[in-house]
């Protein structure tokens, strides 16, 4: 009979293992702007009420708990009296700092009497449905597998979603006000003890230096605090998915959440981050790695397919195989335009269809995209304005640009095609070579919160290369990326070492 050989190792952070007093718990919690500690005037400072505003049902607090306390304030002499007077279930008394901290993060209100400072009354006011609505499903970053919860245009709801996922006092929220006329609340979020303080300091400084009338959306804030403003490439990840924002935080990133915006901005980011999808971590690593390579290949195909077509048909006919030369000559026999004009015509047509489909109502836009693409494509080929081979290449190029999970990177890929097409029309393959050198030089100069944009490719980091082009097994994801310089390197410890014959039982 085969026996299971399982070695279990529990990894718990130093902060979670040490004993905590009530005062230490409150001192840590006060670093977050969503933590509130108040003393009603009627209590003459005898009563101290503490809670996270983003985790409790604030209506229940004002309509039920607070009036009941004020009505019986003179009769409260000990903590047990609160349990008798408050018409709410789930009330308990504790002096354990760790239990108090856990209860705070579960949506409890903590009440203290000045005579019993080391004992607390814990009253559950959790708002379990807060932010959990059908309307907060992700729209632009949809995945088949994994959670569908997304951020909405409400700061309290978004902070609640993050606080519910990361149940730790290490999650810090720092609130700023941006906009002299809009007074928009912006929250800088990070994990204390993990995120490098230099990143937090840089974000604080850049937000504090902003001078703007109205902040409409978080994507504006991203551009205003960007290291470089003259680049088509996004320097920060913009996401509407809660799981993606949480993963960025535990990696050691800084997250920016602003009121009236359903997008969270995380950084520092590098180029390869934009080709990773949250769904990669919900699929087997072999499948996820294949899909990630498909995205990278799709990006390269989208940028270089039409420029190579122009360069080959304008300057380098000799590289075309003999079997393919006949169909190309036949398809272009009646086309009056040079390859560059032919390509630009089709590329701009695709852009017109894409923009029209995005601006029209959903049902009309979908119909226009399908019918317009078929009709215009067929008509241009029959009118000899373009070749059918180029039509196929441009269609595949447009499809390839959509494989990028982040919409802003998809836009950058679309724009890159045009300078490469012009260089290919002027100088052929040599022009494409010049364009690649200029592109790589530009990417190497970019930074995100002071971090090189091309890392771990340049500067080269051996440990990050595998993560850039594939999704390794979880066994190799136990450490945070070293190039983020996190204060805590270890992310988790694998709990079991599997025997190859584990699970096989024979008598």
- Answer yes or no: do 145 and 186 share one domain: yes
User: Residue 483: left (phi > 0), alpha (psi -120 to 50), or beta?
Assistant: alpha
Beta bridge partners of 188: 174, 256
Whether residue 462 lies inside any domain: the answer is no
Kindly report, residue by residue over 140-173, the tens digit of the pLDDT: 777 788 888 889 888 888 999 999 899 888 999 9
Q: Does 443 map to a domain? A: yes
Q: For residue 97, give the 3-state DSSP assignment.
A: helix
**Per DSSP, what are the bridge partners of residue 265?**
238, 256
- Predicted TM-score (pTM) of this structure: 0.81
Are 141 and 85 found together in one domain?
no
**Do 232 and 205 sit in the same domain of this protein?**
yes
CA distance 337 to 341: 6
230 in the same domain as 167: yes
b/e code 35-50 from CB counts within 10 Å (16+ = b): bbeeeeeebeeebbbb
Q: What letter would DSSP give residue 310?
A: H
User: CA-to-CA distance for 156 and 311, rounded, in angstroms?
Assistant: 54
Whether residue 5 is contained in a domain is answered as no
If asked whether residues 237 and 200 sit together in one domain, one would say yes
Picking from 241, 269, 297, the residue at the C-terminal end of a domain is: 269
391 and 431 in a single domain? The answer is: yes
Residue 6 lies in a domain: no
Say if residue 317 is in the same domain as residue 381. yes
Q: Which of these three, 124, 158, 184, is where a domain ends?
A: 124
Q: Say whether both 293 and 395 belong to one domain.
A: yes
Query: Has residue 358 been placed in a domain?
Result: yes
CA 149/CA 369 separation, integer angstroms: 29
Taking alpha carbons only, the member of 215, 224, 220, 227 closest to residue 177 is 215
Strands (E), 145-244: 171-178, 184-191, 237-239
**Tens-level pLDDT at each residue, the chain (507 residues):** 333 333 333 333 444 446 778 888 888 888 898 898 888 766 677 788 899 988 888 888 888 888 878 877 777 778 777 777 777 777 888 888 888 888 888 888 998 887 777 788 888 887 765 655 556 777 777 778 888 888 988 888 899 999 989 988 899 999 999 988 888 999 999 999 999 999 999 999 999 998 889 898 898 999 999 988 889 999 999 999 999 999 999 999 999 999 888 899 998 999 999 999 888 889 999 999 999 999 999 999 999 999 999 999 989 888 888 888 888 888 777 888 888 998 998 888 888 888 877 777 766 666 666 667 677 777 777 777 788 888 888 888 888 888 888 888 988 998 999 999 999 999 999 999 999 999 999 999 999 998 999 998 888 887 778 888 888 888 888 888 888 999 988 887 766 555 545 544 443
Strand partners, 91: 123
Place of tokens 């309307």: 135
Q: Which domain holds residue 430?
A: 282-452
Considering the domain boundaries, does residue 500 fall inside one? no
Q: Are residues 398 and 305 part of one domain?
A: yes
Number of domains in the chain: 3
If asked whether residues 104 and 138 sit together in one domain, one would say: no
229 part of a folded domain: yes
Asked if residue 181 and residue 113 are part of one domain, the reply reads no
Is residue 323 situated within a structural domain? Answer: yes
Q: Same structural domain for residues 82 and 210?
A: no
Residue 317 buriedness (CB in 10 A; 0-12 / 13-18 / 19+): exposed
**Of the residues 269, 297, 318, the one at which a domain ends:** 269
E runs forming strands in 237-323: 237-239, 254-258, 264-267
């Amino acid at each position: 009979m085969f026996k299971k050989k399982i070695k279990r190792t529990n990894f718990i952070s130093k902060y979670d293992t040490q004993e905590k007093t009530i005062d230490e718990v409150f001192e840590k919690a006060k670093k977050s702007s969503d933590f509130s500690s108040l003393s009603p005037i009627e209590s003459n400072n005898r009563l101290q009420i503490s809670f996270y505003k983003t985790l409790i049902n604030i209506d229940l607090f004002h309509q039920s708990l607070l009036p009941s306390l004020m009505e019986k304030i003179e009769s409260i002499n000990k903590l047990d009296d609160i349990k008798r007077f408050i018409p709410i279930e789930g009330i308990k008394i504790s002096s354990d700092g760790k239990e108090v901290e856990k209860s705070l993060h579960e949506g409890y209100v903590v009440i203290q009497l000045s005579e019993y400072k080391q004992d607390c009354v814990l009253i559950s006011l959790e708002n379990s449905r807060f932010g959990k609505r059908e309307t907060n499903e992700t729209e632009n970053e949809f995945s088949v597998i994994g959670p569908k919860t997304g951020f909405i245009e409400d700061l309290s709801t978004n902070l609640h979603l993050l606080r519910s996922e990361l149940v730790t006092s290490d999650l810090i929220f720092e609130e700023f006000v941006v906009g002299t006329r809009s007074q928009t609340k912006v929250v800088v979020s990070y994990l204390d003890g993990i995120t490098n303080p230099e990143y937090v300091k840089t974000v604080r400084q850049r937000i504090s230096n902003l001078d703007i009338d109205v902040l409409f959306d978080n994507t504006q804030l991203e551009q205003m605090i960007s290291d470089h403003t003259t680049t088509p490439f996004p320097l920060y990840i913009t996401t509407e998915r809660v799981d993606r924002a949480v993963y960025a935080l535990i990696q050691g990133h800084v997250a920016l959440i602003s009121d009236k915006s359903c997008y969270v901005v995380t950084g520092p980011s590098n180029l390869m981050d934009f080709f990773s999808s949250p769904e990669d971590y919900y699929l087997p690593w072999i499948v996820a790695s294949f899909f990630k390579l498909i995205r990278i290949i799709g990006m390269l195909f989208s940028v270089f397919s039409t420029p190579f077509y122009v360069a080959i048909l304008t300057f380098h006919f000799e590289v075309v195989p003999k079997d393919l030369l006949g169909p190309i000559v036949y398809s272009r026999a009646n086309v009056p335009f040079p390859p560059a004009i032919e390509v630009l015509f089709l590329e701009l047509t695709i852009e017109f269809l894409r923009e029209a489909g995005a601006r029209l109502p959903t049902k009309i836009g979908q119909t226009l995209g399908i019918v317009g693409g078929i009709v215009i494509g067929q008509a241009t080929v029959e009118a000899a304005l373009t070749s059918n081979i180029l039509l196929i290449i441009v269609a595949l190029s447009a499809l390839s640009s959509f494989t990028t999970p982040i919409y802003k990177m998809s836009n950058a890929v679309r724009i890159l095609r045009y300078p490469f097409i012009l260089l290919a029309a002027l100088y052929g393959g040599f022009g494409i070579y010049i364009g690649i050198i200029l592109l790589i030089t530009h990417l190497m100069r970019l930074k995100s919160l002071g971090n090189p944009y091309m890392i771990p490719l340049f500067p080269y980091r051996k440990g990050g290369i595998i993560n850039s082009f594939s999704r390794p097994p979880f066994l190799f994801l136990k450490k945070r990326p070293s190039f983020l310089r996190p204060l805590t390197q270890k992310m988790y410890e694998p709990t079991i070492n599997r025997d190859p014959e584990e699970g096989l039982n024979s008598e």
